[in-house]
Amino acid sequence: MTATAAQIMEGPSRAEALARLRRLERLADRMDRAFRLPGTNIRFGWDSIVGLLPGIGDTAALAPAAWIILEAHRMGLPRYRVAQMVGNAGIDWIVGSIPLFGDIFDVGWKGNLRNVALIRRHLEGV
């Protein structure tokens, strides 16, 4: 089955968009809450772990965040929403780069999960 020109111009089908969203949610989950601090409800992910590498950690963690933002753009989110997502990633990067404080901040901010939630709300029409 081929898509019509109008469907191509509108962006991905609903089923394709939801499949993309699920992939992005899995990525965000790994980046922001893959692990639990034993004996607590504190969750953290690879973003927090990679962020411990001085100088390059927080910058390296921008790659998955950028992919989530790019996918949001491809899925047709409005520019203001994509800009909000860039702001979330920027806050994560700037504050996360501050030694010690930034590492603690990363555990609580969860910018990737925030951005994926924005995509979900857009797709659900909220």
Cβ partners under 8 Å of residue 119, min gap 6: 21, 24, 68, 71, 72, 75, 77
Residue 21 lies in a domain: yes
Residue 18 lies in a domain: yes
pLDDT, tens only, 29-46: 999 999 999 999 999 999
Residue 88 lies in a domain: yes
Mean pLDDT over 14-29 rounds to 93
Residue 89 lies in a domain: yes
20 burial (CB, 10 Å; 0-12 / 13-18 / 19+) is middle
pLDDT, tens only, 92-107: 999 988 888 988 898 9
Which helix (DSSP H) or strand (DSSP E) does residue 91 occupy?
Answer: helix 79-96
Residue 79 lies in a domain: yes
Q: What is the pLDDT of residue 125?
A: 83
**What is the span of the domain harbouring residue 77?**
12-124
Confidence check: pLDDT of 27 > 70: yes
Domain count, the chain: 1
